[in-house]
Amino acid sequence: MTEDHELKVTFECANSRDVTGDGMADLADAILILKLLAGANITDAISPCADRGEDSNIGMAELLAILRAIVAEL
């Protein structure tokens, strides 16, 4: 007998703009999203913490958020 099960996972996110999972939002995160947008073959882990809008997509909205965070620290 097989049944469908739903798995819910809760993440503790130190930084909501962190894509690489190192706890910081920096250029490495922006570059990883640029690679994603460019269709590169990504082997790095993508942190679910970075998702904005809870649409399960990482894209321009996340890239802009990271760039804004970087610029704000300059």
Contact residues toward Ca ion (CB under 5 A) are 18, 20, 22, 24, 29, 51-53, 55, 57
Contact assessment for residue 24 and residue 60, using Cβ atoms and an 8 Å cutoff: no
Least gap, CB of 8 to Ca ion (angstroms)? 18
| Helix spans in 22-59 (H) | 27-37
Residue least distant from Ca ion (Cβ): 20
Least gap, CB of 4 to Ca ion (angstroms)? 25
Contact assessment for residue 52 and residue 62, using Cβ atoms and an 8 Å cutoff: yes
Least gap, CB of 1 to Ca ion (angstroms)? 37
